[in-house]
Structure 1
């Protein structure tokens, strides 16, 4: 049984077929989003598998032959087929699978696609209704059109993230691995779904392209606009234009982030909250326009620093909540994996590994009221579903064995990996329905 059959028609994309030839993060994560909407996903790997399978040890993630938490992050609810695209019969099988699909997603270099006949002009001529998607490091034109790229260089470095996020005067930041990839994945999924709507309406396929550099520029829209009007980045928290949109340290050495954009309206409230009623209506500080004209924003920040240093974080959170000031403790990942808010809303879901025990895994963020929290089946070894899909294409057992013998396909022969469906916390508690 394929993973898709196990999901029993779940989701708004049930019946939509996707063929994926993707490695690492951004492109596979794109298709994970579609898989959690119910699409049937056939992931075609080389015999060595998605290169992401090698990455876990680089950040301390253990692996076994059948369990890999790193590959799970981008590959839930997929079916796993392994083909040798350099073999004519392996490539022919890939073409058959693509020909039956609504969407073909890749992050291969254009030159490699052209060599294999998997480029957009070739496939669109053969399959006019096919949606062809490509995730790229940089755009299709210009000096870097054919350059290799990862989110660290395309998104974090050239996209301005590493250079504009740190405190001014410090070294560039090192964002968590693949931070940009997951943002770009949502954008790519949006494009594929837009093309799918058009295909269902007109029958016509489409080419959809997203690149990591553009994704970073889009996310930096406000900063890029502000930079052109004199707001230089990176910034120092000691000199932000609006002191009410800033971080402050509490008495117990923790940080709180407040975000009150309407400075003038809430100035007196904030002065009261920190015990500086003597500064209410003070003409030096009470309007944002005055701060900008006189350059005294750092003085207000210092006043707020002194105020917030007088109470512990939990005291401040309660006080700020009472005054309806948008605020939060500045979390680290150690806080997030213990945060009940993340589990009750299914942003994190607990899964059980035979070798590693219970761990939390992120979920894609889109939810549909008619379907609820999506089912989650973890990844499989390379070639796990090869034989099943070849059978669906009409190959006999003997023909599959012959293809395997000549090196055109890889078939998994190891221990069975059950299709265990992991539910959300509320589903496990019987507080939310399961539609599968």
Structure 2
């Protein structure tokens, strides 16, 4: 465990993370990286039950997801365990949970119950489909919601059938939306003095993420189709073969299209009648792609990147993950952050996606051992050493 002092713009907030899998822990991690005191609530190891975590505790996913948190073990199926949680909630600013909607009510740790003991509490619930409605009780998983939110129908090449993305995009997105909702509620609390219930779901997050593709249907009545590597509206934008691989090229607007034609030494394409407008380039997309590929195959990817950079044409390499973190710009941005680990010596985790000029994020501690901070949290709640030992013997903690 690092000895770094917890600090950052959110250091005054305490968060109880009751969530499992990926969406809720993502929200909690976002707050933890900026200094919040995030306490991850787990089941006692002696109960030998699964908390629904992803991967092995010392594995890359688990370590990356739960850094900067403290861990306590509490048996939420025990009345005494529920009372411990309620006492923790009295001292907390935020609770995050992603149980199925009915579970928190059955346990007696729902928002209305906890707010009676702490009216300032911000309570965030993440579900698959919403806290109520016809699908509220369905189990929600990223893959399912990618289909229901429209993403799989627009991903992949035309005619090849629906395709999921290479990441759990719905889980990650809704985790970030939940963190945004929590911060919004905390800001509002500064005015009203009261907390509130933040609700989001994988389905809401997924629909919000498809964004302009959803707007094409809502406003224009147009159903987006699969476009593979081609951009649906900015043409030509996509993947182009080079002499040694592939690169991305993106053109938005007539000036960028002109610069591309000049850069590849094909000015006749810009003056061609069949490519004179974006609508015509869209209509003749395949022919244009073939013509451009005939040029891009004449040089290496590195050569084209240099040419396009010099001529202000948007382009970039297509990396495998090892190449992503070898790139000098990625390294300059600090997207791999080292943390000392008591068992793994030193690990690298994924850095934050934004920076603040005065109060940076902080990677101060690796994922804790299960229940590593149980005693210190309970002492802070007023429990004695003997009481804590008794609770442990009876598998309450």
Give the TM-score taking structure 1 as reference length: 0.83
**Contact 1:238/1:301 (<8 A) preserved:** no
Quickly say closer, same or farther: Cα 1:256–1:112, change in 2 above 3 A: same
Q: Residue 340 of structure 1 corresponds to which residue in structure 2?
A: 328
Match of 2:150 among 149, 153, 160: 160
CA drift of 1:187 comes to 1.0
**Contact 2:122/2:197 (<8 A) preserved:** yes
Q: Deviations over 1:4-62 (max 9, x none)?
A: xx543511111211111111111011111111111111111112577454524xxxxxx
Distance 1:94 1:373 in 2: 28
Distance 1:237 1:129 in 2: 48
CA drift of 1:338 comes to 2.5
1:317 aligns to 2:305 (yes or no):
yes
Match of 1:244 among 236, 239, 243: 236
Q: Residue 201 of structure 1 corresponds to which residue in structure 2?
A: 191
Q: Residue 270 of structure 1 corresponds to which residue in structure 2?
A: 260
**Contact 2:15/2:95 (<8 A) preserved:** yes
**Contact 2:157/2:226 (<8 A) preserved:** yes
Distance 1:108 1:153 in 2: 17
Written as runs of structure 1 = structure 2, the 5 A alignment for 1:394-433 is 394-409=382-397
| Structure 2 residue matching 1:166: 3-state secondary structure | coil
Written as runs of structure 1 = structure 2, the 5 A alignment for 1:10-409 is 10-48=7-45, 51=51, 53=53, 55-56=55-56, 67-154=58-145, 156-227=146-217, 228-230=220-222, 232-237=224-229, 241-252=233-244, 254-262=245-253, 264-291=254-281, 295-351=283-339, 359-409=347-397
CA drift of 1:266 comes to 3.4
Aligned length: 392
Q: Residue 426 of structure 1 corresponds to which residue in structure 2?
A: none
**Contact 1:18/1:103 (<8 A) preserved:** yes
**76-85 vs 374-383, greater mean Cα deviation:** 374-383
Distance 1:291 1:386 in 2: 63
CA drift of 1:367 comes to 2.1
**Contact 2:34/2:361 (<8 A) preserved:** no
**Contact 1:43/1:81 (<8 A) preserved:** yes
Question: RMSD of the TM alignment (CA)?
Answer: 2.4
Distance 1:348 1:182 in 2: 18
Q: Deviations over 1:336-386 (max 9, x none)?
A: 233332232122223455665654311232322112241331111211111
| Structure 2 residue matching 1:108: 3-state secondary structure | coil
**Contact 1:167/1:235 (<8 A) preserved:** yes
CA drift of 1:258 comes to 1.5
Distance 2:151 2:166 in 1: 11
CA drift of 1:311 comes to 0.9
Distance 1:239 1:33 in 2: 30
Distance 2:234 2:94 in 1: 46
| Structure 1 residue matching 2:159: 3-state secondary structure | coil
CA drift of 1:178 comes to 2.8
Quickly say closer, same or farther: Cα 1:258–1:291, change in 2 above 3 A: closer
Quickly say closer, same or farther: Cα 1:193–1:54, change in 2 above 3 A: closer
**Contact 1:106/1:134 (<8 A) preserved:** yes
| Structure 1 residue matching 2:258: 3-state secondary structure | helix
Quickly say closer, same or farther: Cα 1:260–1:87, change in 2 above 3 A: same
**Contact 2:5/2:364 (<8 A) preserved:** no
Give the TM-score taking structure 2 as reference length: 0.91
Quickly say closer, same or farther: Cα 1:17–1:50, change in 2 above 3 A: farther
Q: Residue 420 of structure 1 corresponds to which residue in structure 2?
A: none
